Amino acid sequence: MTERETMTERETMTDEELHELAVKQTALGEVRGVPAADPVNVPMIRHWLTAMGDANPVYLERGLAPPAMAQVWTMPGLARREKDRSPVDDMLAALDDNGYTGVVATNCEQTYRRYLRVGERLTSATRFSGLAGPKRTALGVGYFATWHITWYTEDDEPVADMLFRILKFRPAKKESLPPYPLQPAINQDTAFFWEGAERGELRIQCCADCGELRHPPGPLCPHCRSAERTYTLATGTGTLFSYVVHHHPPVPGRETPFVVGVVELPEGVRIVGNVVDCPIEEVEIGMPLRVTYRAMDDRLVLPMWRPE
Ligand code: ZN
């Protein structure tokens, strides 16, 4: 069954009905969840500190949790229980059912009222606070949903708050994506480079005042701060300065493994690009390379590098 067929079989709500549901969910006010499965505890704090690379000894020495862990203690996980349902869940389910299946978080604002201590058991309380849309965004048409969570101790003391906002959007249809979906961000600082690639030229940005070359392109000369810029044509040769072999994750439109190199140009700048036409085991730092231009689809030409 195609995605389109699935859509038409679903109960679809109008924009008005989605907003009516939002008003209803907002009117529920703050809804308490179930108490956290575990109290604030040392193993989770230690795990967090390791993952974050936070070497501050104060937490473990004094039995305090890093404030940014607030949400950790009550995370429901995938096996969320029905009695732990929040006013947000029905709203998000309705958006899913109406085709707004894409999700991206846009805002997260946390407020910490004090440090949490080992042994305290938290309960989160959620209130839905707004639905805005439908709005046209770069990702597709969607709704912004906002809610607030407050964490309470067993004594009903609020200890941390969070505003969270997500965009639920209708993902663009696959056929509208180019064959090679990873497109560079082309703007007025970088357009000259991509226009050059289309013509088989390796253009390097150049300060129009002091002549210093720079890559990647940018608005100001890091040498003299001038905003006047032009470009020069590189000879198209270079040596491999560094590289990685990309095995995973999969990249749309590319076959793995492939080599991503940093190539040092005789002009004095370095540029990132794929090393191609060379068995991976023969790729080595210092090897001489020459630029080659590969069309990824009918819109994008990428400069790549092959053995000289
Ligand atoms: Zn300059």
Q: Indicate whether 156 belongs to any domain.
A: yes
Span 66-90, pLDDT tens digits: 999 999 999 877 766 677 788 999 9
Name the residues around ion ligand 1, CB cutoff 5 A: 207, 209-210, 212, 221, 223-224, 226
Shared-domain flag, residues 147 and 195:
no
Shared-domain flag, residues 205 and 165:
no
Q: Indicate whether 43 belongs to any domain.
A: yes
Tell me how far the alpha carbon of residue 235 lies from the centroid of ligand 1, in angstroms: 21
Query: Which has more confidence, 145 or 187?
Result: 145
Tell me how far the alpha carbon of residue 213 lies from the centroid of ligand 1, in angstroms: 8
Shared-domain flag, residues 247 and 154:
no
The CATH number of the domain holding residue 88 is: 3.10.129.10
Shared-domain flag, residues 36 and 69:
yes
Shared-domain flag, residues 33 and 161:
yes
Sign of the alpha-carbon dihedral angle for 21, 27, 30, 33:
negative
Span 8-59, pLDDT tens digits: 445 689 999 999 999 999 999 999 999 999 999 999 999 999 999 999 999 9
Shared-domain flag, residues 299 and 246:
yes
Span 97-115, pLDDT tens digits: 999 999 999 999 999 999 9
Shared-domain flag, residues 103 and 196:
no
Q: Indicate whether 176 belongs to any domain.
A: no
Tell me how far the alpha carbon of residue 204 lies from the centroid of ligand 1, in angstroms: 14
Shared-domain flag, residues 109 and 239:
no
Supply the range of the domain harboring residue 66.
3-169
> What span, in angstroms and rounded, lies between the C-alpha atoms of 21 and 297?
44
> How many folded domains does the chain comprise?
2
Q: Indicate whether 63 belongs to any domain.
A: yes
Q: For residue 293, give Cα distances in angstroms to 46, 199, 236, 304, 305.
A: 49, 9, 11, 6, 8
Tell me how far the alpha carbon of residue 32 lies from the centroid of ligand 1, in angstroms: 60
Q: Indicate whether 249 belongs to any domain.
A: yes
Shared-domain flag, residues 126 and 247:
no
Q: Indicate whether 181 belongs to any domain.
A: no
Shared-domain flag, residues 209 and 240:
yes
**Counting every residue, how long is the chain?**
308
Shared-domain flag, residues 127 and 247:
no
Tell me how far the alpha carbon of residue 221 lies from the centroid of ligand 1, in angstroms: 5
Res. 181: pLDDT tops 80: no
Q: What percent of the chain has pLDDT over 90?
A: 80
Tell me how far the alpha carbon of residue 289 lies from the centroid of ligand 1, in angstroms: 28
What pLDDT sits at residue 253? 83
Query: Which has more confidence, 77 or 201?
Result: 201
